[in-house]
Amino acid sequence: MDRKRFCKCGCGQEIKWKPYHKYYTPKYIFGHSNKGKKFTFTKKHKENIGKTGKGRVPWNKGKKGLQKHSIKTKEKISEKLTGRLHLKKQKRK
Ligand SMILES: [Zn+2]
C-alpha cells in the first residue's frame, strides 16, 4: 500500500496517497497534468475560434412565427397544461 508515486510532469513532487486512489491513481499532482504540454493555441487557431464565435447564428433566428398554432390548438395546449398543474395540486398524502 505504500507505493510512492511521483508526479510525471517533472516537478519531482510525490503524489500523496488519497483514499480514492484505490480506484484511480493519478499520474500527476492535481493541476500538474497540463504542465509542460505546451497547451497553447497557434495564432491561426485563435483566429479560427474567433471566426466561429462571431459567425454563430442563434438557433431560433428567423424561426419566430414558424410554429403556426391555431387559437384552438393553443387552447387545447393550455388546457392540458392547466390539467397537469391541477393534478399536481391534488397529490394524495
Ligand atoms: Zn508536478
C-alpha closest to that of 12 among 31, 28, 36, 34: 28
The verdict on residue 46 lying in a domain is no
DSSP-derived 3-state class of residue 30: coil
Take residue 33 and report the three cell numbers written for it. Answer: 497534468
Q: How many domains does the chain contain in total?
A: 1
How wide is the angle at C-alpha 21 spanned by C-alphas 16 and 1, nearest 5°? 75
pLDDT-derived band at 82, boundaries 50, 70, 90:
confident
Q: Which domain holds residue 3?
A: 1-37
CA of 7 to the centre of ligand 1 (A): 5
CA of 34 to the centre of ligand 1 (A): 9
- For the segment 30-39, the average pLDDT, to the nearest whole number, is 68
Q: Could you list the beta-strand ranges (E) of 1-93.
A: 5-6, 14-15
What pTM was computed for the model? 0.34
CA of 38 to the centre of ligand 1 (A): 14
Q: Which residue has the higher pLDDT, 71 or 61?
A: 71
Query: Could you read off the pLDDT of 38-62 as tens digits, one per residue?
Result: 556 677 777 776 776 666 677 777 6
The verdict on residue 58 lying in a domain is no
Amino acid identity of 91? K
CA of 28 to the centre of ligand 1 (A): 6
CA of 12 to the centre of ligand 1 (A): 6
The verdict on residue 22 lying in a domain is yes
Task: Return mean pLDDT, the chain.
Answer: 75
Q: Which residue has the higher pLDDT, 91 or 58?
A: 58
pLDDT value at position 13?
92
The verdict on residue 93 lying in a domain is no
